[in-house]
Amino acid sequence: MRHDAGRPMREEVRVPVPGPSPGPGDMGGSAHLSWEPASYWLLYVVALVAALVHWRLGNHAMAVVCGCAVAASVGLIVRLHRNGA
């Protein structure tokens, strides 16, 4: 507790700051490592289907946007694969 000049005393709240994330061999870090590739693959599948549907319906601008999401997800999958996850 701290007392500033003229102000009533109050408790200080300390928020815990998370430390570095655990490595792949640690039990705490294995959960997020298994979800990361799955999320990139889900993005790939959904964006690919969306791009094809938008293209077929004539909404070419949205098909291009979804195609960019496909390209980004492929890049993330390749990067993750190269890093050994």
* Helix, strand, coil tally for the chain in percent (to 5): 60, 0, 40
Is the separation of the CB atoms in 32 and 24 below 8 Å? no
pLDDT, mean of residues 72-82 = 92
Q: What burial letters (b/e) apply to 19-34, b meaning 16+ CB within 10 Å?
A: eeeeeeeeeeeeeeee
Domain count, the chain: 1
Q: For residue 22, tell me if it sits in a domain.
A: no
Q: Which residue has the higher pLDDT, 37 or 24?
A: 37
Its domain, for residue 59, covers: 31-82
Cβ atoms 21, 32 nearer than 8 A: yes
Residues 42-60: pLDDT tens digits?
999 999 999 999 999 999 9
Statement: the pTM of the whole predicted model exceeds 0.85: no
